[in-house]
């Protein structure tokens, strides 16, 4: 049951609530500490399962944190080596030496860990999510198979902590030509109380029958593909492909 609750909590944070990477790392670490402290509250037969849950949550915490934040090679090695040593020692003491955290201290740790987890969770989900705005140029000259900037994607984060965001899937179209659009970054993190800008670029493809000339286009944001002569329509696609 505890493992099921932990799984629901993690995937709720990951998929549904989109909480801050900093808070997510903190909650995963506190979950591990709380499970480990719980080994001192129960009879001995539950010590190993709780230690297992603590290990699982910590094993999720470590790679997630190392991949999300840039610690450098040396710090990464020390974190991995230290984590392995700590859990091997803790597992040995619990399973072989039957050493447990004193019950009174365990109660304080479990209570404090639970309060911190709930508090961080509420603090994060009550905060604003990043706001993404597309700012397009009024016009642009497009040359066949050449890269051209169409505008800027601006991501604003009013929350105190960094927020992860996913760049919208922008598409573009025009009459008698193909336009491929893309941004410089994808699925990144915007700092707390900060703004990030990404250039929206396009590559223009004329049919083989057309002369390889430069054409001027009006750039417009639309709700869907609008193929119109002299206009490039930029819209957000919700398709997964």
Q: What is the pLDDT of residues 113-128, one digit of tens each?
A: 999 999 998 999 899 9
Q: Identify the pLDDT of residue 199.
A: 92
User: Average per-residue pLDDT in the chain?
Assistant: 81
**pLDDT (tens digit, 9 = 90+) per residue, 46-59?**
667 777 888 788 88
Structure tokens at 103: 């019950």
Residue 1: pLDDT band by 50, 70, 90 thresholds? very low
Question: Which burial class, exposed, middle or buried, applies to 15 when counting CB atoms under 10 A from its CB (0-12, 13-18, 19+)?
Answer: exposed
Q: Please, are residues 200 and 180 in contact by the beta-carbon 8 Å criterion? A: no
Residue 212: pLDDT band by 50, 70, 90 thresholds? low
Read off φ and ψ for residue 65, nearest 5 degrees.
-65, -40
pTM assigned to the model: 0.73
**pLDDT (tens digit, 9 = 90+) per residue, 62-88?**
888 888 877 777 777 787 777 777 767
Residue 154: pLDDT band by 50, 70, 90 thresholds? very high
**pLDDT (tens digit, 9 = 90+) per residue, 178-189?**
889 988 776 678
E strand spans, the chain: 131-136, 139-143, 147-157, 163-164, 170-173, 178-183, 189-190, 194-205, 214-221, 231-236
Q: Identify the pLDDT of residue 71.
A: 75
């Amino acid at each position: 049951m505890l493992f099921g609750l932990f799984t629901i909590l993690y995937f709720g944070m990951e998929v549904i609530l989109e909480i801050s990477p900093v808070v997510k790392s903190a909650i995963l670490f506190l979950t591990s500490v709380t499970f480990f402290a719980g080994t001192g509250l129960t009879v001995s037969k539950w010590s190993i399962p709780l230690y297992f849950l603590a290990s699982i949550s910590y094993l999720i915490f470590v790679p997630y944190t190392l991949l999300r934040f840039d610690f450098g090679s040396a710090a990464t090695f020390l974190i991995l080596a230290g984590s392995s040593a700590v859990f091997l020692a803790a597992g040995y003491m619990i399973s072989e030496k039957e050493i447990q955290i004193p019950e009174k201290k365990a109660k304080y740790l479990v209570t404090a860990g639970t309060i911190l987890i709930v508090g961080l969770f509420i603090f994060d989900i009550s905060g604003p999510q990043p706001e993404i705005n597309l700012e397009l140029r009024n016009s642009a000259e497009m040359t066949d198979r050449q890269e051209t900037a169409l505008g800027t994607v601006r991501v604003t984060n009013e929350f105190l902590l960094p927020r992860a965001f996913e760049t919208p899937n922008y598409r573009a179209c025009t009459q008698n030509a193909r336009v491929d659009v893309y941004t410089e970054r994808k699925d990144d993190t915007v700092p707390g109380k900060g703004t990030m800008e990404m250039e929206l670029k396009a590559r223009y493809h004329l049919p083989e029958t057309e002369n390889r000339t430069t054409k001027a286009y009006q750039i417009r944001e639309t709700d869907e593909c609008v193929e119109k002569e002299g206009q490039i329509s930029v819209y957000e696609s919700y398709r997964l492909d």
